[in-house]
Amino acid sequence: MAENPKVLLLIESSREFGRALLTGVADYARFHGPWSIYTSPPFFKHPGGNKRLLARMKRIGVDGIIAREMDEMAAIKAMGIPAVFASTIAPQKGMPEHAFPIITTDNAAIVRMAADHLLDRGFRRFAYCGYDDIPWSQLRGQCFMDCIASAGHETYPYTQPKSRAGRLWENELPVLARWLQELPKPLGLMTCSDDRSQNVVEAAKVAGVRIPEEVAVIGVDNDMLVCHLTSPPLSSVALATESGGVEAAQLLAEFMAERRAMAGQRIVIAPTHVETRHSTDILAMDDPEVVKAMQYIRDHRNEPMQVAEVTDATSLSRRTLERRFLKVLDRTVQDEINRMRVEQIARMLLQTHMSPVQIAQTMGYSSPDNMRRFFQRYKKKTPLQFRRESGHR
């Protein structure tokens, strides 16, 4: 490998997935480089843009490529240089699977996290909104319907207009609004991405549907700009995409140095947590006493808590409250206390720079070891492992 390898990054930066991948690659190059980085110019989305760029890179003598578009596989293969592709799903039938490594997302785990988030809020009706002609969106939709069906509930999927003209946003907006109006409510709705969540919120305003009171919406990617510019702000499944970028850069470096051969390796980007914002900040249970108990647990999750304290926040006996928890949520009051506490620790690990010792003190643990054991029992990894594997910066 050259002392200063030339690396081309064909990755768009307009959305969180691409930006996070680029950040991970930049982190690796900063500490293990230097690399001469070439990025796609603004025209690369235009007809012929990538072909012209790849021809130029071939003349320059590029040493490696990380690309977002699977369409470039054949052209890059013809160049005979190492490459890693960032696809949201593994290559499908008819695609060249042979050598190129692929960065994929764990769609089943992403969907499971979103479904659990909505189920935990007490929803018993569900919907999915994606893009009918995009494979990764279709896959997430099917996974969501399967996950909800396994919990004993039905999902109402959105079907896009068939024509290209019908899918122009100004034409699709009233169609999506009518669909939202006709859905049974209250309802938990998953979208394939934060962009699609933004579409749903806009359509809900046209339809006069209240979010989250009638429809709670959760997306994927935790794109901070999209989530915070939407009103109400959007809940989203966050992904460890930066870690995937670091791993892809490390793999490419090994290929360029000829220390490792390309053999269809897979880098799988897992979900880390749900970033809860206003679009799902609601409890949709029919039992008001269970709602009171849940609200008490949420309000006091930073403190050591006993089941008796939760019971005192309601007008029920402990036995009756436990029975109603099992009926509504299929778990005990103590299970819910533990779940809330674990998720709060995870949130602090990912959203702050507090050390595990400081977090343990904040959460009222008598020692950091007690918190570590508690967290590891539920997350199957220590707090530091969880923080590191989630790409915390």
Measured distance CA(217)–CA(214) in Å, rounded: 10
Tens of pLDDT along 88-139? Answer: 665 555 544 556 888 999 999 999 999 999 998 889 999 999 999 998 999 9
Judging by DSSP bridges, how do beta strands 187-191 and 155-157 pair with one another? unpaired
Q: Which residue has the higher pLDDT, 157 or 62?
A: 157
Measured distance CA(375)–CA(345) in Å, rounded: 8
Q: Tell me, what CATH number does 340's domain have?
A: 1.10.10.60
The arithmetic mean of pLDDT across residues 270-294, rounded, is: 89
pLDDT value, residue 49: 53
Residues 218 and 251 in one domain: no
- Cβ atoms of 132 and 138 closer than 8 Å: yes
Residues 207 and 295 in one domain: no
Spatial strand order in the sheet of 126-129: 155-157, 126-129, 187-191, 215-220, 235-239, 271-275
Residues 256 and 345 in one domain: no
Predicted structure pTM score: 0.81
Residues 203 and 220 in one domain: yes
Residues of the domain holding 31: 6-105+240-271
Residues 111 and 101 in one domain: no
Measured distance CA(388)–CA(237) in Å, rounded: 18
Work out the pLDDT band at 361, boundaries 50, 70, 90: very high
Our measurement of the distance from residue 78's CA atom to the centroid of its chain's CA atoms, rounded to an integer in Å, reads 34
Where does a domain end: 250, 280, 310?
280
Tens of pLDDT along 373-384? Answer: 999 999 999 999
- Cβ atoms of 14 and 232 closer than 8 Å: no
Task: Answer whether residue 148 is part of any domain.
Answer: yes
Where does a domain end: 222, 251, 280?
280
Residues 225 and 167 in one domain: yes
Task: Answer whether residue 161 is part of any domain.
Answer: yes
pLDDT value, residue 144: 97
Question: Is pLDDT of 78 > 50?
Answer: yes
Task: Answer whether residue 230 is part of any domain.
Answer: yes
Residues 165 and 245 in one domain: no
Q: Which residue has the higher pLDDT, 351 or 2?
A: 351
Q: Which residue has the higher pLDDT, 70 or 36?
A: 36
Which residues, 6 or more positions from 148, have their beta carbon under 8 angstroms from its beta carbon? 115, 126, 154, 155
The arithmetic mean of pLDDT across residues 257-282, rounded, is: 89
Task: Answer whether residue 140 is part of any domain.
Answer: yes
Task: Answer whether residue 171 is part of any domain.
Answer: yes
Residues 83 and 186 in one domain: no
Question: Is pLDDT of 393 > 80?
Answer: no
Beta strands in the chain (DSSP E): 6-10, 36-39, 64-67, 83-86, 102-105, 126-129, 155-157, 187-191, 215-220, 235-239, 266-269, 271-275
Please give the tally of structural domains in the chain.
3
Q: Which residue has the higher pLDDT, 214 or 89?
A: 214
Choice among 45-59, 162-176, 182-196 with the minimum mean pLDDT: 45-59
pLDDT value, residue 280: 95
Tens of pLDDT along 232-242? Answer: 999 999 999 99
pLDDT value, residue 51: 67
Residues 28 and 135 in one domain: no
Task: Answer whether residue 84 is part of any domain.
Answer: yes
Question: Is pLDDT of 42 > 60?
Answer: no
Task: Answer whether residue 1 is part of any domain.
Answer: no
pLDDT value, residue 183: 97
Work out the pLDDT band at 177, boundaries 50, 70, 90: very high
Judging by DSSP bridges, how do beta strands 102-105 and 266-269 pair with one another? parallel
Task: Answer whether residue 205 is part of any domain.
Answer: yes
Residues 153 and 301 in one domain: no
DSSP 339-385: HHHHHHHHHHHHH----HHHHHHHTT-SSHHHHHHHHHHHHSS-HHH
Residues 27 and 96 in one domain: yes
pLDDT value, residue 47: 46
Residues 72 and 19 in one domain: yes
Q: Tell me, what CATH number does 174's domain have?
A: 3.40.50.2300
Measured distance CA(239)–CA(105) in Å, rounded: 8
Measured distance CA(83)–CA(249) in Å, rounded: 10
